[in-house]
Homo-oligomer: A and B are copies of this chain.
Amino acid sequence: MNFPSRLIENAVNEFAKLPGVGRKTALRFVLHLLKQSDSEVAGFSETLRKLKQELKQCKNCHNISDHDTCDICSSHRRDHTLVCVVEDIRDVMAIENTQQFNGIYHILGGIISPMDGVGPNDLNIESLVEKVKREEIKEVIMALSTTMEGDTTNFYIYKKLSPYTVTISTIARGISIGDELEYADEVTLGRSIINRTLYEKNLKNDSQTR
């Protein structure tokens, strides 16, 4: 593409670096911004500048936060003996949206994946072990993706935490709500039979969730 202006070319190049954005979409974004008022584009620019400069990481759970300790870790209404281990902040947001969890989180910042060159030392695993060692943690809930990498990470953390007196659990794997049995894969279906729950308990859960 030949651009009539270097400024536009630069902006297109920046947008095209975003995941899933090609140069045509990037140009569409830039032309859209050109139609906006000066103050709006300046606001966008300023927001991006602040995003990286002012954002902090919670020193307790590694969550992204405006302060040194995030809202969840500094809340006295949360159960600080219950730690949910997740991959990144999107998972925190997803679990928070369910309103079913009242403990605190621990964000790994990724998942063990030798294919992508991510080893245990690249993740916030040591600080989790330290937390379990020092603080009074009753249960660690592993809430990672149900992939090979997720399972590997689960097992690694399980081994690391086994010397300490802490319950380690994983989130339930089973048939998604709304799914049809015949289309479920064998492993999921098999696990859902092994880990079956009492119907009475389900009824109680349903009335809480819906």
How many A residues, CB 8 Å from partner?
A: 55
Contact B19 A34 (CB under 8 A): no
Measured CB to CB, the closest approach of chain B to A187, in angstroms, equals 28
A134 sits at the interface (CB 8 A): no
Q: Is A188 an interface residue (CB 8 A)?
A: no
| Interface contact B5-A18, CB-CB below 8 Å | no
- Which B residue sits closest to A72, measured CB to CB? B4
How long is the Cα–Cα vector from A51 to B92 in the complex, in angstroms? 35
**Interface: A154 (CB within 8 A):** no
Q: Find out whether the CB atom of A1 lies under 8 angstroms from the CB atom of B97.
A: yes
Q: Report the nearest B residue to A67, measured CB to CB.
A: B5
> Inside 8 A of A33's CB, which chain B residues have their CB?
18, 48, 51-52
What would 13 more interface pairs be, CB under 8 Å, given A2-B97, A10-B50, A34-B55?
Answer: A1-B93, A4-B71, A4-B89, A4-B93, A6-B66, A7-B47, A8-B64, A18-B29, A33-B51, A34-B52, A42-B49, A45-B45, A46-B49
